[in-house]
């Protein structure tokens, strides 16, 4: 039995990746939940919005790299991020102007808007593939590790190594900053309060002199920022491939629904719930169990509950359980 090594292995393969992945999901789910709370529909185009924002960021990253600009150990993508956000904002505001505005004025039912967002999704999907291609793009540069396996082993003398990727560190730090800024914005500023008021009671908000178009515009801008940040962090951590972003839609929606649609706090809790479940269920526990259990009990097989190919099934099952037993989600958002 060697609990210390077991914990290091657990951190290396489960805790740290899950925290990073959870932060990315939480940021994505925040965007979904904001749209649901304020514009009142489930935005199926969110995954591809993330892909678009990330694509713009990648293009700017390449531009900066060709100019020889870099941030040293930190990925150049962070420098390109603001441009990605602006590009994404432009796209979303344009989409709103030419598509969603029409349906809003018709006072279309949410289910119609969901189908409309499905159409928008296909267009964005095509747009991204058209511009950058359907292939994998790696755009992370700079230092790869904050702590590498070798330095960790040298430092502690432990048998098991622990690696923290730069991208994982950046993901967590950025997520904390973005979430703090968002909550400050929603709770403390007049604009944020108008958004909450509009989400709480649309009729009354209109009769309180709140301009709905402005609330909608600011919502899209915030969503664009969240989506791009989430997309870029995910892309830095793994890699950028348009189809993967489309696939992310499921865990992101699962996070938003598990936490309670319309509840920002819920989206964060949901993101981490989904991420931890996904990573823990698909991780091969052989190594950790080998350290933690007496030798006679150590598993012969991989002790992996589910192949990583099925990782999306995990979000699906959690989604089902939540919808069956607590349809409003953990933080009692609006019922679906």
Which residues are near other proteins by CB under 8 A?
185, 189-191, 193-194, 196-197, 200-201, 203-212, 214, 218, 221
Our CB check for other proteins shows the closer of 70 and 191 to be 191
* Least distance CB 187 / other proteins (angstroms): 10
Instruction: Say if CB 233 and CB 75 are below 8 A apart.
Output: no
* Least distance CB 113 / other proteins (angstroms): 20
* Least distance CB 31 / other proteins (angstroms): 17
For the record, the structure tokens of 51 come out as 């892909």
| CA angle in degrees (0–180, nearest 5) for 318-325-226 | 50
What DSSP string runs through 206-233?
HTTT--HHHHHHHHHHHHHHHHHHHHHH
* Least distance CB 213 / other proteins (angstroms): 9
* Least distance CB 228 / other proteins (angstroms): 16
Our CB check for other proteins shows the closer of 169 and 192 to be 192
The rounded distance, in Å, linking the Cα atoms of 137 and 283 is 26
The rounded distance, in Å, linking the Cα atoms of 232 and 239 is 9
**Residues with Cβ within 8 Å of residue 78, at least 6 apart in sequence:** 71, 170
Our CB check for other proteins shows the closer of 201 and 308 to be 201
Our CB check for other proteins shows the closer of 129 and 193 to be 193
For the record, the structure tokens of 40 come out as 């009142």
* Least distance CB 191 / other proteins (angstroms): 5
Provide φ and ψ at 70, rounded to 5°: -150, 165
Count Cβ atoms within 10 A of the Cβ of residue 247 and give its class: 0-12 exposed, 13-18 middle, 19 or more buried: middle
Provide φ and ψ at 71, rounded to 5°: -100, 20
Our CB check for other proteins shows the closer of 153 and 193 to be 193
Our CB check for other proteins shows the closer of 212 and 299 to be 212
């Amino acid at each position: 039995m060697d609990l210390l090594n077991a914990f290091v292995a657990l951190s290396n393969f489960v805790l740290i990746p899950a925290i990073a992945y959870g932060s990315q999901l939480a940021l994505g789910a925040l965007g979904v939940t904001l749209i649901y709370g304020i514009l009142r529909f489930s935005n199926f185009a969110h995954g591809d919005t993330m892909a678009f924002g990330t694509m713009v960021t990648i293009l700017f990253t390449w531009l900066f790299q060709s100019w020889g600009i870099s941030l040293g150990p930190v990925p150049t993508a962070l420098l390109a991020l603001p441009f990605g956000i602006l590009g994404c904002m432009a796209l979303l505001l344009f989409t709103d102007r030419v598509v969603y505005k029409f349906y809003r004025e018709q006072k279309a039912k949410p289910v119609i808007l969901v189908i409309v967002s499905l159409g928008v999704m296909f267009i964005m999907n095509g747009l991204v593939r058209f511009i950058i291609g359907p292939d994998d793009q790696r755009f992370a540069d700079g230092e790869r590790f904050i702590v590498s396996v070798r330095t960790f082993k040298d430092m502690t003398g432990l048998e098991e190594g622990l690696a923290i990727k730069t991208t994982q560190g950046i993901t967590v730090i950025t997520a904390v900053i973005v979430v703090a800024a968002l909550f400050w914005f929603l709770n403390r500023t007049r604009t944020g309060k108008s958004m909450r008021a509009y989400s709480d009671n649309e009729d009354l908000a209109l009769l309180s002199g709140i301009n709905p178009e402005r609330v909608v515009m600011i919502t899209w801008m915030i969503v664009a920022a969240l989506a791009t940040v989430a997309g870029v962090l995910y892309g830095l951590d793994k890699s950028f491939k348009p189809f993967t972003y489309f696939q992310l839609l499921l865990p992101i929606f699962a996070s938003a629904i598990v936490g309670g649609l319309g509840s920002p706090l819920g989206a964060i809790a949901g993101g981490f719930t989904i991420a931890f479940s996904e990573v823990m269920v698909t991780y091969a526990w052989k190594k950790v169990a080998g350290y933690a259990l007496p030798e006679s009990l150590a598993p012969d097989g991989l002790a992996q509950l589910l192949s990583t190919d099925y990782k999306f099934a995990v979000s699906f099952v959690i989604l089902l359980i939540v919808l069956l037993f607590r349809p409003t989600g953990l933080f009692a958002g609006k019922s679906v």
